[in-house]
Amino acid sequence: MAKTKRQELFYLTGKHTRQELQEIRLQEQFYCPSCQASLLLKIGQINIPHFAHKTLSDCDHSSEPESSLHLHGKLLLYHFFQQLKFKVELEQYLPPIRQRADLLVDSHYAIEFQCSSIPVSQLVQRSKGYLTIGIQPIWIKGLKEPCQEEIGLLRIKSDELAMRQSAGQVSFILLFYPPNNQFYYQSNLFYVSPNRWVGKTKSLQATKQIFPFALPKPLSKEEFKVVMEVFYQVKKKYIRNQLYAENRIKNVFCRLCYELRVDVMNVPKLVGIPLLGADCIKQPAILWQLQVVVAYDKGISIAALVASGKLTLINPALTQQAVLIMEDYLSLYVAFKDKKLENANLLDIVYDIYCKNLRKLRK
């Protein structure tokens, strides 16, 4: 978007061909709507036509340089909202908070299409800025390649996780792949370790998308079975890695197994299971669940265990959430610890907990 000499806004939204833009460029001068500096209209054969400052030194609100992927994605999203009959503005600058939204929808939603990494602090700051003026921020992660649709291990960076939306029962990360005009959802996320999660990836063509955006569904029992299988493999790998620890006596996992009087290769099936909301605990499921069981055997309360500092939390502000998750887990463990569990029984039990947690979120 740029301003002309007549102070009219000029949008590059695909309405003009490259040849038409070349002719317009000869006749018109363009200026930045924010800093009023001269802009160049770039019309290459590969990249999408776009405006660029001759110099960035005089503009605090420029987001340049933008990748072709970012330009392409913004243009497709602009047309997506237009086709749904929403009022949409590209690169709208908001003076009260000195921020520019990639797209402003109905003056109420700020769509941020983020293709590169961004510090989490900056992402949070921008979101808070929108909220202070009554605008709902929605972050969409730009994709360079399509995702594989499956339930499995996902590599999720901290800034991508900060884009997570919690609308509906199931939280999710919304992604967009411009070459195919296709949305992707990463939902039903279960924490494994920093940057590693088990979750479901599902696509949705832009032609079938709605706004407010469609919400992902909870997992079926068959889908949850896959989550359980992935967690079991993660558990096996974790145990194997602990066996190679140089000092078994100081190794937390080995010490916990010793205190429970269980062989490290035969950790109970009820230990190391996936639980929604457990991402507030910055430890593998097998480790924090072992700590809960050992504390129970010693008569130590969950609150006292958390206060001891033996458990690492993502954020101290999530202490209450961590306590509730661990209390739920302990109730489950105590109810079934003396029963012989087959895989099918275990699936029934853990899936039931998953459904109950979803109902809590819905409330």
| Residue 287 in tokens | 């480790």
Three-class SS state of 237? helix
Q: What is the pLDDT of residues 194-233, one digit of tens each?
A: 899 999 999 999 999 999 999 999 999 999 999 999 999 9
Q: Show Cβ contacts of residue 59 under 8 Å, excluding neighbours closer than 6 positions.
A: 32, 34, 35, 37, 53
Distances (CA, A) of 48 to 16, 69, 94, 182: 12, 9, 25, 19
H helix or E strand, kind and range, residue 238: helix 221-243
pLDDT score at 106: 97
Asked if the model's pLDDT at residue 10 lies above 70, the reply is: yes
CB 273 within 8 A of CB 258: no
Count CB-CB contacts under 10 A for residue 338: 6
User: How does DSSP classify residue 339?
Assistant: S
- Better pLDDT: 67 or 317: 317
pTM, two decimals, is 0.85
Q: What is the pLDDT of residues 156-173, one digit of tens each?
A: 999 999 999 988 889 999
pLDDT score at 236: 95
pLDDT score at 66: 67
Q: What is the phi-psi region of residue 98: left when phi exceeds 0, alpha when psi lies from -120 to 50, beta otherwise?
A: left
| Band of residue 147 on the pLDDT scale cut at 50, 70, 90 | very high
- Better pLDDT: 246 or 164: 164
